[in-house]
C-alpha cells in the first residue's frame, strides 16, 4: 500500500529525522523539534509525529519522540530474462538458452526491454566485469561511442566496449591480453548495452580451518549462485 502524501511541515519534519539518523544522532525530543521549527507547544510536535506514524513513515515506541524509528519502503524489484552466456574473451557462436528469470532492482532498468547474460572470460576485467558475473543488458540495436555492448561480429557474439573512431568500428577489450576486434559497418549487430553487473560472492562450501591454527589457501573457490 502506498504511503499518504505529507504536508509541507510533515515533510520538513521527516527530512530532519532522516538527517539525524544519517549522522547517527538520537531522535529529537519534542523540545528539540519546537526549538528547530519555532513551535510554541510540544503538543504541535507530538501531533506532527503522530501524523507521520499514521501515514506509515515512522513508528513511535510508546508514543515518545525519542523512540521514533523510520519506516523505509522496500526497493522495487523487477524480473528480467536470463538468456544464457556471453563471452568476454575471444568471440564465439552465440547459443541462446532461456534459463528463466532473475530479480534486479527496478531502479537499474529505466525504460525499455532488458535481458541478462552470464559472462565467461576475463577480457572485460578492467571494467569490473569478470568471469561468472551476470550483466544486465538494455535491449537495443544502436549504441553510443564508449558504451559496453553485447554484439555479434561475423556470427560470433561477445561483450566489449564500442569504439566508433577514425579507424572504423571496433570492439575494445578492457584487458591488454585481448586484441581489439575490427568490424566494417554492416558486419556488426548490436543486441544491447550493458547497464549493470551482478556478482555473487558465495562459495559452494566454506573452507574448514584446522583447529588451533589459521589455514590459508590460494585455490579459487567456485561460486554457486542461482
Strand 92-93 versus strand 156-165 pairing type: antiparallel
3-state SS, residue 109: coil
Strand 148-153 versus strand 188-198 pairing type: antiparallel
> Would you name the residues annotated as active-site residues?
123, 160
Strand 77-87 versus strand 114-120 pairing type: parallel
At a CB cut-off of 8 Å and minimum separation 6, what does 28 contact?
A: 16, 17, 20, 36, 65, 66
φ, ψ of residue 35 in degrees (nearest 5): -65, -40
CB 135 within 8 A of CB 161: no
CA dihedral sign of residues 213, 216, 222, 226 = positive
Amino acid at each position: 500500500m502506498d504511503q499518504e502524501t505529507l504536508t509541507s511541515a510533515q515533510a520538513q519534519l521527516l527530512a530532519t529525522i532522516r538527517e539525524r539518523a544519517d549522522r547517527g544522532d538520537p531522535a529529537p525530543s519534542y523540545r528539540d523539534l519546537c526549538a528547530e521549527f519555532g513551535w510554541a507547544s510540544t503538543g504541535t510536535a507530538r501531533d506532527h509525529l503522530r501524523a507521520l506514524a499514521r501515514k506509515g513513515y515512522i513508528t513511535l515506541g510508546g508514543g515518545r519522540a525519542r523512540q521514533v524509528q523510520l519506516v523505509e519502503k522496500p526497493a522495487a524489484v523487477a524480473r528480467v530474462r536470463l538468456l544464457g552466456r556471453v563471452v568476454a574473451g575471444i568471440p564465439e557462436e552465440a547459443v541462446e538458452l532461456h534459463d528463466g528469470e532473475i530479480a534486479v532492482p527496478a531502479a537499474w532498468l529505466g525504460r525499455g526491454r532488458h535481458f541478462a547474460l552470464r559472462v565467461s572470460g576475463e577480457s572485460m576485467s578492467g571494467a569490473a566485469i569478470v568471469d561468472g558475473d551476470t550483466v544486465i543488458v538494455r535491449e537495443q540495436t544502436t549504441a553510443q561511442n564508449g558504451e559496453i555492448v553485447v554484439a555479434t561480429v561475423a556470427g560470433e557474439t561477445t561483450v566489449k566496449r564500442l569504439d566508433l573512431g577514425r579507424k572504423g568500428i571496433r570492439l575494445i577489450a578492457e584487458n591488454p591480453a585481448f586484441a581489439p576486434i575490427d568490424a566494417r559497418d554492416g558486419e556488426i549487430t548490436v543486441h544491447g548495452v550493458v547497464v549493470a553487473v551482478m556478482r555473487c560472492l558465495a562459495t559452494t562450501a566454506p573452507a574448514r580451518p584446522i583447529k588451533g591454527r589459521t589455514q590459508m589457501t590460494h585455490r579459487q573457490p567456485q561460486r554457486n549462485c542461482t
